[in-house]
């Protein structure tokens, strides 16, 4: 499956639904020319990214935050250059911003549709910053 392929439990989330939502994604590692393959999931009030077995074995770490910590979801503009090549920046990426200012960038298929699904599921807006 390619980044962003929907799992059987995913689909169009309903606002306030209690089901799970999950997609394949590649997480850009901040400050490094690396991306981790894995799964982005919303379940039981948590937003998590779990790297695949290989990336975990080579020191890759995901994240696990409360859905209440998510401030906005949108798509990040492309970023050209060598760093953009290695961290997926030559594609538009799903950008998840947290209330503390941290942001996660993930390569997923159908980024605008996935951003809208997450905004609906989490009840957050976008930053309006994508170009």
Q: Assess whether pLDDT exceeds 60 at residue 117.
A: yes
What Rg, from alpha-carbon coordinates, does the chain have?
14
Helices (H), the chain: 53-57, 82-86, 111-122
For the residues 101-106, what does the mean pLDDT come to?
Answer: 92
Q: What is the pTM of this model?
A: 0.76
Q: Does domain 21-122 have CATH number 2.30.29.30?
A: yes
For residue 37, give the 3-state DSSP assignment: strand
Confidence of residue 126 (pLDDT cuts 50, 70, 90): confident
The string of DSSP letters for 69-101 reads GEEEEEEEPP--SHHHHHTTTTS-EEEEEETTS
The DSSP output letter for 107 is E
Render pLDDT for 29-50 as a digit per residue (tens, 0 to 9).
Answer: 777 777 899 999 999 999 999 9
Spatial distance between the Cα atoms of 38 and 36, rounded to a whole number of angstroms? 6
The rounded percent of the chain whose pLDDT value lies above 70 is: 72
Is residue 9 over pLDDT 80? no
- Whether 84 shows a pLDDT value over 60: the answer reads no
Asked whether residue 118 carries a pLDDT value surpassing 70, the answer given is yes
Domain residue extents for the chain = 21-122
């Amino acid at each position: 499956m390619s980044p962003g392929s929907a799992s059987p439990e995913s689909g169009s989330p309903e606002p306030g639904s209690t089901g799970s939502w999950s997609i394949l994604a590649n997480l850009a590692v901040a400050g490094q020319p690396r991306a981790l393959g894995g799964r982005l999931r919303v379940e039981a009030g948590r937003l998590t990214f779990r790297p695949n077995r290989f990336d975990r074995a080579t020191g890759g770490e995901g994240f696990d935050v409360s859905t209440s910590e998510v401030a906005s979801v949108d798509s990040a503009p492309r970023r050209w250059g060598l760093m953009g090549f290695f961290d997926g920046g030559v594609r538009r990426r799903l950008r998840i911003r947290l209330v503390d200012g941290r942001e996660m960038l993930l390569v997923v298929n159908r980024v605008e549709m996935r951003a809208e699904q997450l905004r609906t599921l989490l009840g957050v807006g976008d930053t309006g910053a994508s170009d």
